[in-house]
């Protein structure tokens, strides 16, 4: 019984980031893909026109989780309409998006 509890705890620890990335992927498709592209590569017409970088780029991936959280929640400095916290995303949803962005590393 004790082994089962330990096994369940270990699985839960490793499953949370996977679930967060999956949730983030679905959320990304509904909230972010129109501008950032389905794969987050900044390959849409809007992204090219507004010079939105690939989320897999070294520039984006070098940012800390706190910086990505702020960018998702309130938008990059000087960018209007990106403030997803004001649009109703929860802290957990923003965190899931950060996890998803991290999964896009080259």
Contacts of 94 (CB under 8 A, 6+ apart): 69, 72, 73, 84, 85
Counted domains in the chain: 1
Average pLDDT for runs of 10 along the chain of length 106: 48 42 86 93 91 93 96 86 86 96 90
Q: State CA 98 to chain mean position distance.
A: 3
The CATH number covering residue 58 comes to 1.10.760
Show the domain range for 44. 2-102
pLDDT single digits (tens) 81-106: 788 888 899 999 999 999 999 999 86
pTM for the full predicted model: 0.75
Average pLDDT, the chain: 82
């Amino acid at each position: 019984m004790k082994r089962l509890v330990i096994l369940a705890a270990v699985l839960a620890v490793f499953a949370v980031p996977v679930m967060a990335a999956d949730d983030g992927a679905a959320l990304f498709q509904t909230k972010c893909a129109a501008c950032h592209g389905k794969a987050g590569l900044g390959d849409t017409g809007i992204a090219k026109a507004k010079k939105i970088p690939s989320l897999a780029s070294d520039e984006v991936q070098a940012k800390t989780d706190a910086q990505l959280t702020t960018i998702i929640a309130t938008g990059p400095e000087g960018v209007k309409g990106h403030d997803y916290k004001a649009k109703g995303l929860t802290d957990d949803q923003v965190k899931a998006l950060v996890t998803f962005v991290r999964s896009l590393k080259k």
